[in-house]
């Protein structure tokens, strides 16, 4: 496999960005090199070096000709060959070793244009902000086949790709958009004329998607090469959205103008989408959080739908927030950014306060639902929220009488109800009343969940599963009992309660359940959702999965069975998440005004007076947000402080804690000799290490330590300098047994 130097040479103008610390200072394996005498050039190549390796991820290689930064190359790394990206010359000249040690670039990936300067800047920023190596972040952002296939295979793929792109694919005729509401027009006008970033604060059903569609359309028409990136939180929502975008645009801008990017696609599909976007044929990329790293050389607009959704935050590797990176990327590339939600994250809400108070986002409000008669009272068309005070219900009752009656009424009218509860399985614990045995997982500090369908006990953390024992494993008692409730039990219980209720056609009630268990098989979620849409289901029971985004037209009742847990959670974001979930769920109800029946949202609670439920009843997100923000401010929590969480995993809890304690000790006592450290430390609080909420998972002990500051800059100065300390502390004898550690910047769950 001998490849020639890249034929394409693209130089993008510099962006003038400055990074406070480039963590990956270059390390060369080569020494004084004299290109003119050796007729080869030293190239800096970004590769994915092992985590916490002592070398940076920009290495030096030689090549016969100079390659433009962004060129994809294959290089030797140790004994293997790996994908690399030609990187900009590092700010500090590389250290010199022996010239004979400089290894050659093996080959250039022909036919793929170099990655642009702003893409590279985005990756550098993401790596530095989230405390990872640039090599890791950049290589993870590229489609997997580029890493794995050889050049021959790649060339075949590229040929096939070119053919597919040329094929005169049948594009559907463009659908005509509906005339916009006054609120939609006003929002669009702002997006068209103001710089943003925008927070589109639009109630569910206010027509936010239509605003995105129009904004994208205006852009594509105005600029013949411009590209737009539209992100959604869930893979499940991309087909719906893709259909909507394709229907609108494929006819006018070509069948390949709309592509998707999410982890549910095959590697070949991902490569195809990536290339289409990278080479400019795709005008619109729809995707989940990973799409924020798509190479889009002509990016002009970024939309982040449901911007509050926690799934924009990555759960492993570089724990980046795609929403926050989207805003940064917009600034970097001069692209407009629109964040949309009916229940924005408190961070974004706070950032969109008036500019006179320091706000940086422009808030665009769309308070009315589409189809609600103009001039009607506020919240017209939104469902009525009913709270059931469970303190006045008989003990142990699951469905209060008024709720049950309301569900029955819907069934007899031929309408649908949606009941949700945030716990799957039949019961969270099995227990023996005689000896106190519990269905503890032997690998985790958690109980295994009882699944009645297949009579198993399953650990939801490590997956450990076995059959339900016939008798108590400790004392032999045969009466082992479920404790608590999950969706499976809810479904069963509801079946018993509704056994005598008839549908309008005289048939028996049909109850379905949708959760991670019922949708394990590929395609089963789509099937089940289709059944709901087709009206083959009267009552749908499920977890939060069913509350999000799906456009169920015939649902007129939504009920949350026992959501109070979030009010007392140690996670300070739990209430925010619950409010968003309930508002979302409420948004599922009454979407079809033509049904003519009023819709209800029922909440069964022991805390009916809690401000969360009071605001929910009034559909008043701003009131909820203001109360929450006041609480956060007085407690010095985000967005009034910046946080990072250091997590350590080890064979023993002692080792995990020892690493964190040692690093804390160094930060507070040894590092102050560093110039300027005292000032940084004065603004940063390093809390003592504690065991994680679930201390042991799959026999790995976990501990965590919170680092907090009222200044984001101080926090990052601290983390930048402190990263190496963690690596050094790991070598101490008391830290033997450490498996891994990582810093999570702006963590979501603490
Ligand atoms: P949101 O994303 O704010 O919840 P959607 O964009 O999904 O709302 O719109 C809700 C429904 O209203 C959709 O069925 C959509 O097709 C419809 N819709 C949106 N804008 C208009 C409009 N201007 N005229 C008529 N129907 C509209
Ligand atoms: Zn027992
Ligand atoms: Zn387990």
Exposed (0-12), middle (13-18) or buried (19+): which is 469, by Cβ within 10 Å?
A: middle
- CA 545–ligand 3 middle distance (angstroms): 23
pLDDT digits (tens, 9 = 90+) for 571-629: 899 999 999 988 888 777 765 655 566 788 999 999 999 999 999 999 999 999 999 99
Tell me, what's the pLDDT at 593? Answer: 56
- Adjacency order of strands within the sheet including 41-46: 58-63, 41-46, 80-86, 72-77, 107-108
Cα dist. 702→657, 664, 687 in Å? 8, 17, 16
In 3D space, the residue among 712, 683, 715, 713 whose CA is nearest the CA of residue 347 turns out to be 712
In 3D space, the residue among 172, 187, 318 whose CA is nearest the CA of residue 252 turns out to be 172
Tell me, what's the pLDDT at 1? Answer: 32
At 707 the three-state DSSP class reads strand
The pLDDT mean for the chain works out to: 85
pLDDT bracket for residue 199 (50, 70, 90)? very high
Average pLDDT of span 162-176: 62
Instruction: Check residues 258 and 162 and name the one with the higher pLDDT.
Output: 258
Mutate to test the pocket of ligand 1, among 209, 306, 590 (most ligand atoms within 8 A of CB): 209
Q: What is the per-residue DSSP string for 209-228?
A: HHHHHHHHHHHHHHSTT-EE
User: Is the C-beta atom of 549 inside 6 A of ligand 1?
Assistant: no
Exposed (0-12), middle (13-18) or buried (19+): which is 141, by Cβ within 10 Å?
A: buried
Tell me, what's the pLDDT at 545? Answer: 77
Res 376 pLDDT > 60: no
Average pLDDT of span 173-178: 71
In 3D space, the residue among 146, 133, 122, 149 whose CA is nearest the CA of residue 49 turns out to be 133
- CA 374–ligand 1 middle distance (angstroms): 15
pLDDT bracket for residue 97 (50, 70, 90)? very low
User: Is the C-beta atom of 205 inside 6 A of ligand 1?
Assistant: yes
- CA 457–ligand 3 middle distance (angstroms): 10
Ligand index nearest the alpha carbon of residue 696: 3
**Contact between 60 and 31 (Cβ < 8 Å):** no
Q: CB-hemisphere CA count at 13 Å for 572? A: 16
Mutate to test the pocket of ligand 1, among 205, 206, 217, 592 (most ligand atoms within 8 A of CB): 205
Cα dist. 703→145, 466, 648, 742, 747 in Å? 36, 28, 5, 11, 15
Contacts of 570 (CB under 8 A, 6+ apart): 693, 750
User: Is the C-beta atom of 184 inside 6 A of ligand 1?
Assistant: yes
> What's the DSSP call for residue 178?
P
User: Is the C-beta atom of 177 inside 6 A of ligand 1?
Assistant: no
Instruction: Check residues 372 and 42 and name the one with the higher pLDDT.
Output: 42
The region of weakest confidence among 263-277, 319-333, 340-354, 584-598 is 584-598
**Contact between 576 and 628 (Cβ < 8 Å):** yes
Mutate to test the pocket of ligand 1, among 178, 207, 212 (most ligand atoms within 8 A of CB): 207
Q: Phi and psi (nearest 5°) for 201?
A: -95, 95
- CA 473–ligand 2 middle distance (angstroms): 7
Q: Where are the beta strands (DSSP E) in 495-641?
A: 511-514, 539-542, 555-560, 600-605
User: Is the C-beta atom of 343 inside 6 A of ligand 1?
Assistant: no
Ligand index nearest the alpha carbon of residue 469: 2
Cα dist. 532→21, 293, 385, 539 in Å? 53, 35, 23, 9
- CA 435–ligand 2 middle distance (angstroms): 4
Ligand 1 atom with the shortest distance to the CA of 211:
6
**Contact between 118 and 227 (Cβ < 8 Å):** no
Q: Number of helices and strands (H, E) in the chain?
A: 20, 28
Tell me, what's the pLDDT at 114? Answer: 95
Average pLDDT of span 78-95: 78
Res 23 pLDDT > 50: no
pLDDT bracket for residue 406 (50, 70, 90)? very high
Residue nearest to atom 24 of ligand 1 (CA): 178
Tell me, what's the pLDDT at 173? Answer: 59
Mark 321-343 as b/e (b = at least 16 C-beta within 10 Å). bbbbbbbbbbebbebbbbbbbbb
Res 39 pLDDT > 80: no
Average pLDDT of span 473-477: 92
**Contact between 123 and 58 (Cβ < 8 Å):** no
pLDDT digits (tens, 9 = 90+) for 502-522: 988 888 999 988 888 877 777
- What is the model's pTM? 0.88
Ligand index nearest the alpha carbon of residue 694: 3
pLDDT bracket for residue 171 (50, 70, 90)? low
Q: Tell me how far apart the alpha carbons of residues 597 and 589 are, in angstroms, rounded to a whole number.
A: 11
**Contact between 304 and 323 (Cβ < 8 Å):** yes
Q: Phi and psi (nearest 5°) for 540?
A: -110, 120
């Amino acid at each position: 496999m001998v490849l020639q130097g890249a034929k394409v040479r693209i130089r993008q103008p510099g962006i003038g960005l400055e990074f406070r610390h480039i963590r990956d200072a270059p390390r060369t394996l080569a020494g004084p090199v004299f290109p003119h005498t050796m007729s080869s050039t030293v190239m800096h190549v970004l590769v994915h070096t092992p985590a916490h390796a002592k070398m940076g991820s920009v290495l030096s290689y030689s090549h016969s000709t100079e390659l433009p930064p962004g060129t994809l190359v294959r290089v030797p790394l140790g004994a293997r060959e790996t994908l690399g990206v030609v990187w900009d010359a590092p700010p500090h000249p590389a250290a010199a070793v022996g010239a004979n040690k400089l290894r050659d670039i093996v080959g250039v990936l022909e036919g793929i244009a170099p990655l642009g300067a702003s893409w590279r800047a985005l990756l550098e920023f993401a790596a530095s902000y989230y405390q990872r190596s640039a090599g890791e972040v950049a290589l993870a952002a590229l489609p997997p086949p580029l890493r794995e296939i050889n050049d021959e295979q790649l060339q075949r793929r590229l040929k096939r790709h070119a053919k597919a792109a040329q094929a005169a694919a049948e594009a559907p005729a463009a659908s005509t958009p509906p005339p916009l509401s006054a609120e939609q027009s006003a929002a669009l006008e702002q997006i068209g004329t103001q710089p943003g970033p925008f927070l589109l604060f639009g109630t569910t059903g206010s027509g936010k998607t239509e605003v995105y569609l129009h904004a994208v359309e205006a852009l594509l028409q105005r600029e013949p090469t411009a590209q737009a990136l539209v992100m959604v939180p869930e893979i499940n929502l991309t087909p719906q959205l893709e259909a909507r975008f394709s229907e609108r645009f494929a006819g006018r801008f070509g069948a390949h103008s709309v592509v998707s990017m999410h982890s549910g696609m095959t590697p070949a599909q991902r490569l195809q989408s990536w290339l289409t976007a990278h080479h400019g044929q795709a005008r619109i990329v729809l995707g989940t959080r990973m799409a924020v790293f798509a190479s889009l050389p002509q990016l002009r607009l970024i939309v982040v739908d449901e911007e509050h959704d926690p799934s924009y935050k990555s759960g492993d590797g570089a724990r980046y927030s795609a929403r926050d990176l989207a805003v940064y990327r917009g600034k970097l590339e001069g692209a407009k950014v629109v964040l949309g939600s009916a229940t924005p994250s408190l961070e974004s809400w706070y950032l969109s306060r008036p500019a006179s108070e320091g706000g940086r986002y422009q808030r665009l409000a769309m308070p009315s639902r589409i189809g609600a008669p103009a001039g009607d009272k506020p919240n017209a068309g939104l469902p009525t929220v009913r709270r059931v005070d469970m303190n006045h219900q008989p003990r142990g009752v699951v469905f209060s009488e008024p709720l049950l009656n309301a569900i029955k009424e819907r069934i007899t009218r031929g309408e649908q109800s949606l009941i949700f509860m945030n716990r799957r399985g039949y019961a969270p614990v099995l227990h023996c009343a005689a000896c106190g045995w519990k269905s503890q997982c032997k690998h985790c500090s958690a109980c295994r969940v009882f699944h009645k369908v297949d009579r198993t006990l399953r650990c939801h953390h490590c997956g450990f599963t076995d059959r339900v024992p016939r008798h108590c494993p400790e004392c032999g008692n045969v009466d082992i009992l479920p404790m608590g409730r999950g969706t499976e039990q809810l479904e069963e219980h509801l079946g018993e309660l509704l056994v005598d209720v008839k549908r309008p056609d005289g048939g028996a009630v049909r109850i379905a359940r949708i959760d991670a268990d019922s949708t394990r098989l590929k395609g089963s979620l789509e099937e089940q959702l289709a059944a709901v849409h087709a009206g083959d289901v009267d009552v749908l029971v499920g977890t939060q999965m069913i509350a999000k985004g799906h456009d169920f037209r015939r649902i007129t009742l939504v009920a949350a069975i026992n959501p109070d847990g979030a009010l007392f959670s140690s996670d300070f974001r739990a209430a925010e998440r619950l409010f968003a979930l309930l508002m979302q769920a409420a948004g599922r109800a009454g979407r079809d005004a033509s049904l003519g029946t009023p819709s209800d949202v029922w909440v069964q609670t022991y805390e009916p007076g809690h401000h969360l439920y009071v605001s929910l009843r009034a559909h008043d997100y701003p009131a909820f947000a203001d109360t929450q923000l006041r609480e956060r401010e007085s407690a010095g929590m985000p967005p009034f402080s910046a946080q990072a969480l250091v997590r350590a995993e080890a064979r023993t809890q002692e080792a995990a804690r020892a690493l964190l304690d040692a690093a804390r000790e160094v930060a507070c006592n040894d590092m102050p000799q560093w110039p300027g450290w005292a000032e940084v430390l004065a603004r940063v609080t390093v809390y003592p290490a504690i065991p994680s909420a679930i201390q042991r998972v799959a026999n790995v002990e976990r501990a965590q330590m919170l680092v907090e500051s009222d200044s984001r800059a101080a926090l990052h100065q601290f983390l930048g300098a402190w990263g190496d300390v963690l690596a050094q502390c790991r070598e101490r004898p008391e830290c033997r047994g450490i498996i891994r550690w990582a810093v999570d910047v702006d963590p979501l769950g603490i």
